[in-house]
């Protein structure tokens, strides 16, 4: 029986929902994602309409809604979305269940999108980029993060070497950057997130490809032309 990517991705994230939820606050407040919202906020107009693609339990969506933004979170996992909706009570954040490569959203309806480590979990990251271009207004922004080499994302995709269909589209930051730039995404800023050991190194003095090679996660800011 053939595995359907979307169904399997939903199943895997439903199974991870409790463990993810138990650590999401720490990730966004003090961990690997703590600099992402400040980085994003530099480019968001006040009261911006924002779509959080692969929102998980909604922690970032809710945080941004409390800052005055109009946030729509999108995720495949029913379990994740239940947690998001529960936490969002009293805020304007809203959540929908959908495949981020086929969004039930109107064209040109957002000022920006946020997609943190979610494109790796889609069968076609290229299609997600097309959807981002469709739903974001001209001159809007896309903040997209891809796991770097030191996050060892191939733990999720290793079994493909045995010919198994694996529900993880491992990409390196430079591969994703090339895909985005070739499809008219204009890179305007970027930042690396590093493990503690790499933070001790003078990474800021290294060429870009070496900084990306040492990263746990690479965060891009693109302008939609």
- Please give the DSSP secondary-structure letter assigned to residue 149: G
pLDDT digit of tens for each residue in the chain (225 aa)? Answer: 567 999 999 999 999 999 999 999 999 999 999 999 999 999 999 999 999 999 999 999 999 999 999 999 999 999 999 999 999 999 999 999 999 999 999 999 999 999 999 999 999 999 999 999 999 999 999 999 999 999 986 778 888 899 988 999 999 999 999 999 999 999 999 999 999 999 888 999 999 999 999 999 999 999 998
**Please, what sign has the CA dihedral across residues 222, 130, 127, 62?**
positive
H-helix or E-strand containing 220? Answer: strand 217-224
| Spatial CB neighbours of 24, under 8 Å, sequence gap ≥ 6 | 56, 57, 59
Look at residue 188 and give its three-state secondary structure: strand
Q: Rounded CA gap, 38 and 114, in Å?
A: 12
CA 150 – CA 123 distance, rounded (Å): 23
- Which domains, from first to last, does the chain contain? 1-19+32-151 (3.40.50.150)
CA distance 109 to 111: 7
Contact 100, 131 (CB under 8 A): yes
pLDDT in tens, 149-176: 999 867 788 888 999 889 999 999 999 9
Nearest Cα to Cα of residue 217 among 181, 189, 187, 190: 190
The count of C-alpha atoms lying within 13 angstroms of the C-alpha of 51, restricted to the half-sphere facing its C-beta, is: 30
* Measured distance CA(52)–CA(34) in Å, rounded: 16
Token digits of residue 103:
């969004």
């Amino acid at each position: 029986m053939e595995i359907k990517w979307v169904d399997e991705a939903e199943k895997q994230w439903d199974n991870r929902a409790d463990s993810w939820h138990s650590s999401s606050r720490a990730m966004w407040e003090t961990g690997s994602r703590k600099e992402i919202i400040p980085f994003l906020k530099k480019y968001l107009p006040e009261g911006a309409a924002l779509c959080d693609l692969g929102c998980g339990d909604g922690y970032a969506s809710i945080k941004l809604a409390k800052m005055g933004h109009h946030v729509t979170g999108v995720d495949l996992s029913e379990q994740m979305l239940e947690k998001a909706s529960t936490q969002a009570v009293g805020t304007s954040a809203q959540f929908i269940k959908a495949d981020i490569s086929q969004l039930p959203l109107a064209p040109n309806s957002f000022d920006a999108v946020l997609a943190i480590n979610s494109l790796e979990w889609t069968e076609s990251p290229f299609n997600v980029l097309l959807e981002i271009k469709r739903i974001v207004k001209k001159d809007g922004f896309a903040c997209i993060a891809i796991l770097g080499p030191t996050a060892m994302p191939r733990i999720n995709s290793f079994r493909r070497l045995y010919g198994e269909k694996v529900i993880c589209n491992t990409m390196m930051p430079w591969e994703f950057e090339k895909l985005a730039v070739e499809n008219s995404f204009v890179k305007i800023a970027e930042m690396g997130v590093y493990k503690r050991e790499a933070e001790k190194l003078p990474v800021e003095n290294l060429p870009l490809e070496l900084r990306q090679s040492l990263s746990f996660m690479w965060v891009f800011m693109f302008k939609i032309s």
